[in-house]
Amino acid sequence: MAYLRPRLGLSRIFLPGVSAVRLFCSVGMDDMGLAMSCSPLERLDFDNVVLRKLPLDTSEEPGVRQVKGACFSLVKPQPLVNPRFVAVSHEALALLGLNGEEVVDDPLGPEYLSGSKVMPGSEPAAHCYCGHQFGQFAGQLGDGAACYLGEVKVPPGHDPEQLRDNPSGRWEIQVKGAGLTPYSRQADGRKVLRSSIREFLCSEVMFFLGIPTTRAGSIVTSDSKVIRDVYYSGHPRHERCSVVLRIAPTFLRFGSFEIFKQADEFTGRRGPSCGRDEIRGQMMDYVIEMFYPEIQQNYPDRVERNVAFFREVMLRTARLVAQWQCVGFCHGVLNTDNMSILGLTLDYGPYGFMDRFDPDFICNASDNSGRYSYQAQPAICRWNLVKLAEALAPELPPDRAEAAIDEYMALYNGFYLENMRKKLGLLKKAEPEDEILITELLQTMHNTGADFTNTFRSLSQISCPTEGEGEAGEDLIKKATDLLLEQCASLEELKAANKLTMDPRELAMLLSMAQSNPALFQMISDRATIARQLERLSKLKDLTETSQEELKTKHAEEWSHWITRYRKRLAQELEGQSDVQGVQEERVRVMDSTNPRVILRNYIAQNAIEAAENGDFSEVQRVLKVLEKPFSLQPGLELPAWAGKGESAEQGERDEGEEQQQEAASTSTARNPVPYDSKPPSWAHEICVT
């Protein structure tokens, strides 16, 4: 989505100990003699339309409860102790007409942007929604930690592109981690520093990669503490409560429409507003009128309007997941409650950008079945669209929905192929064999354990063939092969990657059960899971019988074969072109602006998290600055800020009971730093995200 253009300027952070007097009592008078507000956040122009258009639960009954007949519930955010900024995104805050420097310098900024203090015009509320989680209907879910603050009008002088991507003319702002709501279930409504940093950074890098996403304006941390068992290992620790400011046209999702669901045939659960079909109609009217005005204007017939709306959601979803696949992004929890009704990337939890290419890549350590693996994402998004269609019936006729869903895979494949051609620099012609070339590239990457991001980035350095190049052509192929071999996994890395993810005894038991009791086997496992484990065993056996030199020779042969095919295809791009040099320059330019140099790898996020948990917020800001230009080399920003310093630049406060946390937090400075654009270091595979 195209929002405001980048705003130049140094990143700033608000650190403990900085004077909070500045600007606090700066009061002026306007022409009417009215006092101007001290805080820029008090001047935000709220227009909270959704709370007027959709049913609102105004009950102040405390605690978790079923909320019937309402889409939102009024809530009271719970204040934090000593809130302070970790980082802000100038780009995202500019959407609200805010100057990031002023927000950082505002002593009320951390209070307002953590929900500790309510801005004038804000009406804190939590959204009620349901969802299918890992394929099962879970009933009422809702904003258990997120809190709607209101809708801020697009400021005067906005970029016209904003209205194309956000025709409502308002930005919904949320704080995530602001405390209990009626939808908190067994949780406490709080988020901690590590999850907040991951959401903040990924929201922004996705935008700068050109992928539709919700945005993140700031992170605030505090002296409030909660207890978390990070790895569910029985070793809980105290962690600081932290809050992310999230920004989007709306945070409505597929699950928003599932609150009307009748009793589920498998779980027996039903939506809290089951039978209130009139609210479904209200919600559809609101979404289409506000965010799909062209459809509202072009389809006076209600049924045709609803069909056009669903088809547009389907198209946006297909385009979005194609973009994910092309940068190696894995969402991790593609439940229906995490799918945006606008086709945005929504809710950054256990996500991951793929390092070594593996179609079975699973970023969420809790996803034991691989339901949300990298290669499963396109089909899972289609499955979620089916559930959305069911939730929209009878407003959306089932037969019309089915016809639209039948178009999904063809649309997805078209978007995917279009993106992949750009990544390979195939710009002048669309040849039938392109799909085979792409498939063979991915297979070679998988076989050799090649790094996904860096391999694609390297392809622009492979030259087009010229007439009569002879032996020079062979030298160029060898040079290109050596270039790509640098991105391949070592023998030990491949062995580690192909270890069983299941206990061998469990695998043996399941294999026996598949033969002796197929019905029971189907209840507790599936053949695809077993097939993946057997494939790993086979590969591991081959690897144990191979030396590093033999492996490198084999990898070189595979890459040499593919590069030869690729260069022949590049030669076709030059056929009939009068300006060969211009074509080649355009190819390199497009490839280098499509294949990122740097992405938010887990180890990069982890380094920033550990530094922040140790009181040093500078690495979070530095990573944000690097990710704001993911396609470019930024001199002076090649390595983490702590490289060569021996310890963090800033040390935060240390409380009793935090020794274990501080010990863990200092580990990033003890590691040998690697450039942000390099393959991950050896310790990165130990990172576990759930």
Q: Identify the band that residue 30 occupies on the pLDDT scale cut at 50, 70 and 90.
A: very low
pLDDT for the residue 19: 35
**CB proximity list for 652: less than 8 A, separation 6 or greater:** 16, 614, 615, 616
Read off the pLDDT of residues 640-667 as tens digits, 9 standing for 90 and up: 987 756 444 344 333 333 433 444 444 5
Q: Judging by DSSP bridges, how do beta strands 329-330 and 352-353 pair with one another? A: antiparallel
Q: Is 108 helix (H, G, I), strand (E, B) or coil?
A: coil
Write out the catalytic residue numbers.
337
User: Residues 405-432: what's their mean pLDDT?
Assistant: 97
Say what the pTM is: 0.91
Q: Identify the band that residue 668 occupies on the pLDDT scale cut at 50, 70 and 90.
A: low
Read off the pLDDT of residues 419-456 as tens digits, 9 standing for 90 and up: 999 999 999 999 999 999 999 999 999 999 999 999 99
pLDDT for the residue 660: 39
Report the alpha-carbon distance of residue 300 to residue 376 in Å, rounded: 38
Q: Say if residues 649 and 640 touch (Cβ distance below 8 Å).
A: no
pLDDT for the residue 512: 92
Report the alpha-carbon distance of residue 558 to residue 481 in Å, rounded: 9
Report the alpha-carbon distance of residue 200 to residue 288 in Å, rounded: 29
Q: If we measure between CA atoms, which residue out of 233, 150, 136, 241 comes closest to residue 188? A: 241
Out of 57-71, 245-259, 566-580, 649-663, the most confident range is 245-259
pLDDT for the residue 645: 62
Q: Is the pLDDT of residue 8 over 80?
A: no
Residue 172 bridge partners (DSSP): 151, 248
Q: Identify the band that residue 466 occupies on the pLDDT scale cut at 50, 70 and 90.
A: confident
User: Residues 489-505: what's their mean pLDDT?
Assistant: 91
Q: Say if residues 189 and 179 touch (Cβ distance below 8 Å).
A: yes
Please, where are the H alpha helices in 209-346? 277-291, 293-298, 302-327
Q: Is the pLDDT of residue 390 over 80?
A: yes
Q: Identify the band that residue 528 occupies on the pLDDT scale cut at 50, 70 and 90.
A: confident
pLDDT for the residue 17: 36
User: Residues 613-627: what's their mean pLDDT?
Assistant: 97
Task: Give the residue, 249 or 527, on which the prediction is more confident.
Answer: 249
Q: Is the pLDDT of residue 253 over 50?
A: yes
Residues in the chain: 690
Read off the pLDDT of residues 297-316 as tens digits, 9 standing for 90 and up: 999 999 999 999 999 999 99
Q: Is 48 helix (H, G, I), strand (E, B) or coil?
A: coil
